[in-house]
Amino acid sequence: MEQIYLAGGCLWGVQEFIKYVPGVISTEAGRANGSAQPKEHEASKSDDNPNAYDGYAECVQIEFDPSITSVTVLMKHLFEIIDPYSVNKQGVDVGEKYRTGVYSTDAQHLAEAERYIASREDADRIALEVLPLTKYVASDDIHQHHLSHFPEDHHLCHIPWELLHKYKS
């Protein structure tokens, strides 16, 4: 099994969509590559430390089976649910934490993601960052599989409900 981290705006929607993609074994909502030094868990953010997640991108940690899927295939799926030209914005969510990106500790994953982007006719317009994973913090339990537990919150997500469940069997 291998791990990669995908950021596509609000982590609720990305997790709800990607967890049903064939070859995805497990997912965890979290944050990647920020500048602050948060404690191990999101609960550490409080009124006395409002900048605990400065610079982090909302993302989903994905464990996948490379015999079933690949980084290229996961990239194609990510592009189904994002506006790849948008900077720090997806749908109504605006801010640095909603940027799009691909992060990994495996240089081959990053090279494959870059090759996928370069192969697209619109490569020069794509605003997706492809970077080594430097930091990762899991989100609180309330954010894990949030739209499965609280479908009434879907109105807060930029991804249409039908698309969220495109691969759900």
- Which positions are annotated as active-site residues? 10
Q: Which of 34, 21, 66, 24 is closest to 139 using CA atoms?
A: 34
What is the Cα–Cα distance from 10 to 60, expressed in whole angstroms? 10
